[in-house]
Amino acid sequence: MDVMEAVLTRRSATRLVPPAPDDAALLELIQAASAAPDHGLLRPWRLVLVRDAQRELLGAALAETATGAGAAERARAKPLRAPLLVSIVFCPRPDHPRVPVWEQLAATVSVVQNLHLLLHSRGWGAIWRTGGAVDAPAVRRCVGVGAGEQLLGWLYVGTPGNGPGGAPRSGFDARTKVRTLGAAA
């Protein structure tokens, strides 16, 4: 699959089943994804893999943060939606003399987008999930998020299930978002 096809056909896969890429295959894709733009080559990110029974540990941490009837059990089940969760940890260097934090965040997001495209190009499904629990102390402890770091959510990864594919993209005219400097608006 070429890059244009990967970009145009990638969708968030909401139903993921085993298998997921093994560590060696995933590491190869992460290595390639890390070629994303990164001013200063700071690599202000790290990834924490959650597989197998580790998903239940994360589910228990998520359940600790839940409030309301039945919310704990729903939260506990969330990590079981995919065979692999890639925790995305942003590790900014706020005092860097040349690279502001927003550029470091952009570099991190670029790596995740590259990884998502690479997974898709190899036939894997993925969806980036977040939520309020990313800031919960129990979840941060479980994932190992340190002071000064931010959990940006999880890339759920697996084999696309037999459900409907991602929603079709609505018609969009890029000309509505592009202008030439000095041209009439």
Q: For residues 181 and 158, give the distance between their C-alpha atoms in angstroms, rounded to a whole number.
A: 44
Is omega for the bond preceding 19 within 30 degrees of 0, making it cis?
Answer: yes
pLDDT at 164: 57
pLDDT at 80: 97
pLDDT at 78: 97
pLDDT at 163: 62
Above pLDDT 90, what percent of the chain? 91
pLDDT at 167: 67
pTM for this predicted structure: 0.94
pLDDT at 162: 77
